[in-house]
Chain A
Amino acid sequence: MSRDGTGVPHSGGAAYLGMPAFPRAAETATRDDRLRANLRHATHTIRAKRARAVAELDDWARLRQAGAAIKDRTLRHLDHHLVRLEEAVTRAGGTVHWAADAAEANRIVTDLVRATGEREVVKVKSMATQEIGLNEALAEAGIRAYETDLAELIVQLGDDLPSHILVPAIHRNRGEIRDIFRDRMASWGRPAPEGLTDRPAELAEAARRHLREKFLRAKVGLSGANFMVAETGTLVVVESEGNGRMCLTLPETLISVVGIEKTVPTWRDLEVFLQLLPRSSTAERMNPYTSMWTGTADGDGPRVFHLVLLDNGRTDTLADEVGRQALRCIRCSACLNVCPVYERAGGHAYGSPYPGPIGAILTPQLRGLASPLEESLPYASSLCGACFEVCPVAIDIPEVLVHLRERVVEGGEVTIRGTRTTIKPAKRHTAERAAMRAARWTFDHPGALRRGQWILSRSRRLRPRRLPGPGRAWTDTRELPAVPAESFRDWWARTRGGTA
């Protein structure tokens, strides 16, 4: 499946298709008290830890600038670095595949797994495979993909969707997790132990035992990667639990699906990101497990290695001079943890595996402004700027949000599947556009503005407490401000005699 400007369904991720626009989904979430309490507790805890971890480094601002600069430089010559990467991976015994979109990537991976004769695979937590809906594609081919990251396991067992990049089950508390384990583990393998409580250590032990038999049995592992070092063809996965290390080393065949923007040219560049990422995401000085592999090695790790390089809208995003900075993202999720909108709306409202501020600029670019959901995402922000402030690669998310809002309401040039086209303004904004034009005209004619203010103040006693129509969006929850008897402009004219 692919999506163009006409609104044809797009990039896999079947589970996310047909989701409502952000405001509606978010409204539902704001009424869920338990969800809001879970999210508030979790995001505020990580937020404070991150701030402490970052404050330990006196060169954080320079590291951040270096991270942004390395990503920008790499993206400018991405074609060159990708070819170098392919050569290096091939030299090291791996096989490189190129996937233009989700459908092609899913087809490649499904065929590779089929060729092994296996019917099950173990998975390292991976955003790229969520993005393309790989688990669903494999299931259609009769192949069962087991998530092995603890939070992804909770999501998978609960027949749920991830709601956070780093902590996909952030919307669940430990009581809910206990219930999911108790009710669902048996149908996926080893059941939960009798009398399981909601103590974190017990829950972790249940997951460990459940997963262990899968690690030891699986012949095929699936992963993404945090980074790909072009000079040596080395892939890097950073993680906390060790499940990744199991999946990357025990199976005979390893298939990694990685977005093309994960490339860094050299190991010296990698060094910067290995400092930025853990402090920004888990608030750790260093993550517990960093796995690196270069092709295959005799007698050590997988004997067969495939790398699927995923485009899926990235080249189109790269063509947008303002929007391309979203491709710097290293998926740390610091922006989610500080976002007041994410905290109230929850991750599911964003309708993709990329929630929060980064999702609000990434999803509409990767998929195109193709449905009411994608059109609503750039507006899912108060532009408070907290996301930009914490971003370890200095993505000016508010700038990109406003840029995408312009694409929604004014239309303009975009790149769809490599072709430059001009899109029309979104239909749903006709009334708003007329109102904005009228406001601009009034503000550009201060005489008219003054007459308007005069009428407003003369009729101020008639002002209703609740407005009809679109005004309800304000007055349902807030009082309107009182209208003064005299505008500032009139006061000035009366007391100071016109312009100075």
Chain B
Amino acid sequence: MRVGLFVTCVNDSLYPRTGRAVVSLLERLGVRVDFPTAQSCCGQPMFNTGYRHETEPLVRRYAAAFRDHDYVVTPSGSCAAMVRDNYPRIGAGAEAEGRGTELSEAAAGAVPKTYELTEFLVDVLGVTDVGAYFPHTVTYHPTCHGLRMLGLGDRPRRLLEHVEGLELRELDGAEECCGFGGTFAVKNPAVSAAMGSDKCRAVARTGAEVVCTVDNSCLMHIGGVLAREGSPVRPVHIAEILAGTKDSVR
């Protein structure tokens, strides 16, 4: 089984510790993971802003980088959803414009092997107890693309429930968007910030020390609002919680 890590551009540049956590978690579970350096960005920022044609080279790049892998694991619900939902659309768009089936074929190759991290753990590896230790109170925000596009359901929660020392706190209005939405955050900053501060109020009400999601882009927004408000709550990606062990805890 050849497993490739698609770390995503956001994690690569801003949250490398999340990528390192995925590597250490998967290795602990006996999975050898590759990082093809030809990878970069899934193209979501361009596609969701309306620049479909700008995403086409990135579809090709993704498909080529992971051509020889059986599985691609990514610690991002929205990037996995981008590949799964939108790559076929980009392929179909190119076909409709009379530019052949090359992009559709690239998409068809990429889609079935792409897994968001918690899906890969629960559905492919068949584990919910990854032997993690994280002695903190945590609240979980199910991100929109993970929840509604990927249909992650209770997979992240089941993983968290098996973490030793972790106490899970229920988040009010958990299924409501945090207000990030990619370029939405800067195109509609007032509404985005209003959604963010409502989300952070709900997080604060849980009394948890940590807010966790399957997506660092949402956490960048939630964490940005929390930090500006001077909140002590820490944003932590689920991979970093699941990678934690008694040895690694400071």
Contact = CB atoms under 8 A, between A and B. Distances in A.
Interface of A: 22-23, 26-27, 30-31, 36, 340-341, 344-345, 378-386, 388-389, 399, 402, 404-410, 432-433, 436-437, 439-440, 442-444, 446, 449, 453, 456, 470-471, 473-474, 476-481, 483-484, 486-489, 491-493, 496, 498-500
A481 B224 contact: yes
Contact of B224 (A36, A471, A480, A493): A480
Contact of B61 (A36, A404, A444, A479): A444
B16 A444 contact: no
Interface in B126-146: 144-145
Contacts of B224: 474, 477-481
A385 B142 CA distance: 13
9 contacts: A26-B190, A379-B183, A443-B43, A446-B38, A474-B186, A477-B189, A478-B224, A481-B14, A499-B35
Interface in B9-46: 9, 11-17, 19-20, 33-41, 43, 45-46
Contacts of B144: 382-386
Contacts of A484: 14-17
Contacts, number: 206
B16 A478 contact: no
Given A23-B188, A409-B50, A440-B55, 15 more contacts: A340-B179, A344-B194, A381-B184, A386-B144, A386-B176, A410-B52, A436-B51, A440-B57, A443-B58, A444-B58, A449-B9, A476-B193, A488-B16, A489-B37, A500-B36
A340 B176 contact: yes
B186 A473 contact: yes
B194 A30 contact: yes
B181 A382 contact: yes
B48 to A, nearest CB: 6
A340 B191 CA distance: 9
Given A405-B50, A436-B49, A499-B34, A488 B11 contact: yes
Contacts of B148: 384-386, 388-389
Contacts of A340: 176-177, 179, 195
A453 B55 contact: no
Contact of B58 (A379, A388, A440, A483): A440
B51 A406 contact: yes
Nearest to B13: A453
B250 interface: no
B57 A486 contact: no
A456 B50 CA distance: 27
B115 interface: no
A478 B228 contact: yes
Nearest to B53: A410
Nearest to B96: A321
In the A-B complex, the 6 residue pairs with the closest CB atoms: A382-B181, A478-B224, A405-B50, A500-B34, A384-B177, A27-B190
A446 B6 CA distance: 14
A379 B11 CA distance: 25
A30 B40 contact: no
Contacts of B41: 439, 443
Contact of A30 (B14, B39, B191): B191
B14 A483 contact: yes
B36 A406 contact: no
A386 B177 contact: yes
Given A26-B188, A344-B194, A473-B189, A499 B221 contact: no
Given A410-B53, A478-B196, A453 B12 contact: yes
B73 to A, nearest CB: 14
Contacts of A433: 51
Contacts of B108: none
A449 B177 CA distance: 30
Interface in B181-211: 181-197
Interface string B154-197: 00000000000000000000011101111111111111111111
Contacts of A496: 35
A436 B224 CA distance: 23
B13 A487 contact: yes
A399 B50 CA distance: 11
Nearest to A483: B14
Contact of B184 (A379, A389, A407, A410): A379
B149 interface: yes
Q: Residue among B12, B15, B34, B228 with the most chain A CB within 10 A?
A: B12
Contacts of A481: 14-15, 220, 223-224
Contacts of A442: 40
Contacts of B186: 470-471, 473-474
B120 interface: no
B7 interface: yes
Nearest to A496: B35
Contacts of A487: 12-13, 16
B187 A488 contact: no
Contacts of B183: 379
B125 interface: no
Contacts of B50: 378, 402, 404-410
A339 B43 CA distance: 25
B54 interface: yes
Contacts of A36: 194
Nearest to B81: A385
A493 B39 CA distance: 14
Contacts of B177: 340, 382, 384, 386
B225 interface: yes
A449 B175 CA distance: 34
Contact of A402 (B37, B47, B223, B228): B47
Contacts of B13: 453, 456, 483, 487-488
Given A443-B9, A484-B14, A341 B58 contact: no
Contacts of A471: 186
Contacts of A409: 49-51
A39 to B, nearest CB: 11
Contacts of B176: 340, 384, 386
A164 to B, nearest CB: 17
Contacts of B37: 446, 489, 492-493, 498-499
Nearest to A425: B50
Nearest to B18: A488
Contacts of B48: 383, 402, 405
A388 to B, nearest CB: 7
Contacts of B38: 446, 499
